[in-house]
Amino acid sequence: EIWLTQSPATLSLSPGDRATLSCRASQSVSSFLAWYQQKPGQAPRLLIYGASNRATGIPARFSGSGSGTDFTLTISSLEPEDYALYYCQERFTGWTFGQGTKVEVK
Amino acid sequence: EVQLLESGGDLVQPGGSLRLSCAASGFTFGIYTMAWVRQAPGMGLEWVSAINLGGRTFYADSVQGRFIISKDSSDNTLYLQMNSLRAEDTAVYYCAKEGGHTLPFDSWGQGTLVTVSS
């Protein structure tokens, strides 16, 4: 079973800042890594698939990188609507989620 | 437009059973892997179960032997039969659609709340 560890647990940033979120897998998941955004009271929304591909309708300020065991989600310049929870998920051996990173207003 | 509408969530006593449904529309239901993902209050996302286009089923260790996933492609509905429910099964249960083979979930329902308590 693959474990995903996300860091940091909480990221406190101001609007316009660059956000860098990390997801580390316990073993290689190749590029089968996705990122989701979840706002309070809402279902998750797919942001990134295949480690670096933006899903339909996702703004260009969101980007993903990495392969193997280390992955990064970058938000180049935080907009007010980007404050949310972010989860990574592997699709290499199953459907495991990371524990999430909360991006909050500093 | 893809739509997933869950129903069946309720308050149930420990040891009880419940069946969740997810009505799907806007896509060819039978050719996609479908899944259930849950979120306990204040907690993260936990994958629960999945069923692929051939009907093969997959379960998280936490529900193996207690939950049964199934689908009816004739009326585009996904089900989750939950038996021997425990307090730790309390969560919002989401129905989710994969985007394709080994692709992540590209569509989600709004969720249905299951509360297990005496």
Chain B residues within 8 A of A94 when measuring between CB atoms:
47, 58
Q: Tens of pLDDT along B76-86?
A: 999 999 999 99
Enter the tokens of residue A19. Answer: 């956000």
pLDDT at site B25 = 97
Tens-digit pLDDT profile for chain A (106 aa)?
899 999 999 999 999 999 999 999 999 999 999 999 999 999 999 999 999 999 999 999 999 999 999 999 999 999 999 999 999 999 999 999 999 999 999 9
Q: Do the chains contact at B105 and A87, CB–CB below 8 Å? A: no
Contact between A34 and A26 (Cβ < 8 Å): no
Contacts of residue B62, defined as CB under 8 A and 6 or more positions apart, other chains included, come to: B46, B48, B88
Q: Do the chains contact at B108 and A43, CB–CB below 8 Å? A: yes
Chain B residues within 8 A of A95 when measuring between CB atoms:
35, 37, 47, 50, 58
pLDDT at site B102 = 84
State which residue of chain B sits closest to A37, comparing Cα positions.
Answer: B45
Taking alpha carbons only, the member of B110, B41, B93, B1 closest to residue A43 is B110
Distance from CA of B44 to the nearest CA of A (A): 6
SS3 percent helix, strand, coil of chain A, rounded to 5, is 5, 50, 50
Distance from CA of B48 to the nearest CA of A (A): 9
Q: What are phi and psi of B113, to 5 degrees?
A: -90, 125
Q: Do the chains contact at A99 and B104, CB–CB below 8 Å? A: no
